[in-house]
Structure 1
């Protein structure tokens, strides 16, 4: 490609004029999509190119500036919209960039492919779910214990509703992808383990195994959200209060003073 009209020079290029001059370099850089990351400097020693961003390298492994983080956020949010509309398998990169109002070139500056983007979302969702592990304090059998459980139930619901498209895709792929399967088991297992510990500490009713009970609660809350979403009914305060009361009475009633 020749130089821009403003920099056009009809004279043949000689030794004093090269394609790597400052003007041409700036023009090439300005035509690239903005990745939000600094342009890599020429290597100055062993390992000097280790910090240079690589096109299509997983986003979680790249150091991004403020604008780059905003662009990546747009792509991640757009992907959740597309996954919700079309499902993960039917979704295309073209659909994602249209919703994000950006280009294919920009997409591939951040992600190698659709699966790479999903992994970034899974990692993000996993961190949010992991926060639930420490979000549930001791649950007593009184009103204060109900409030503690209700707050945790609200956090669980918020995470589920935000990442529902990711969770569905995650579930679809766990059987064929060992890495995603391990992440799914770790996330779900952590939430269930925390709840099981609270049930055990409160002294469960006779015939209640804390681990089995906790796993059943997590599965129930998950399926409840799916059913409400399918029926296009909200998971509102009334619904969450009901879930909380069922779990509290069933698992923590013996802890009443």
Structure 2
């Protein structure tokens, strides 16, 4: 089956910036990059490249492929809104007909346990689907032009520049960096651009692998007007479940609802009904 799309010189010190000792990170990887100003025809944006390469993933009748951005802890849609395990399972269920025998999550780290005793995202989606086999990726996902894939587990990532991610036409694309590059410029994002602040916070999660810093970034973006950031921060707090998290999550959902976000309003109603 065609992939079901639910997504879509710097040193990135993931291992030093966050508590990632339980993840298999080591070494350094250099990402091929380029400048569209210097090569306007041979230099292409990473976001559209990820989409094009995903379309080239081999189509198999027995496999449902779900393409998304992900960290070891959570999954995101194309707007960088957090997708719960049940969200992903609900999207998959109608497709599990005919010859489909299993699901694969085409997203970084979806096949890796984020902590001892904690199942991977793929395992959790499998449980939500009643035991349907679900596989995930075992590190940072790279896609090639022909749709083939590989993973790396680098602690450090090198590339030129700190702005949007561009790559030479035909080069492999590092999927997490395609969404994660705003994290590099978070400190320079103006307060009147809450959407980019929200995307920077998501990048801290999917590329820098820093969930606590991502939560702080989402809450900052929510305060500045991002409804998706408010929703994301609320879900992270509800999942974490520390003292005061539920009360804070409800306030964040109220913030998202006040900003016109239907998903925040729906989740707020659910949480209030369950109280």
Normalising by structure 1, report the TM-score: 0.27
User: Which is richer in helix?
Assistant: 1
Q: Which has the higher contact order (CA 8 A, sep 6+)?
A: 2
User: Which is richer in strand?
Assistant: 2
Pick the structure with greater CA Rg. 1
Normalising by structure 2, report the TM-score: 0.26
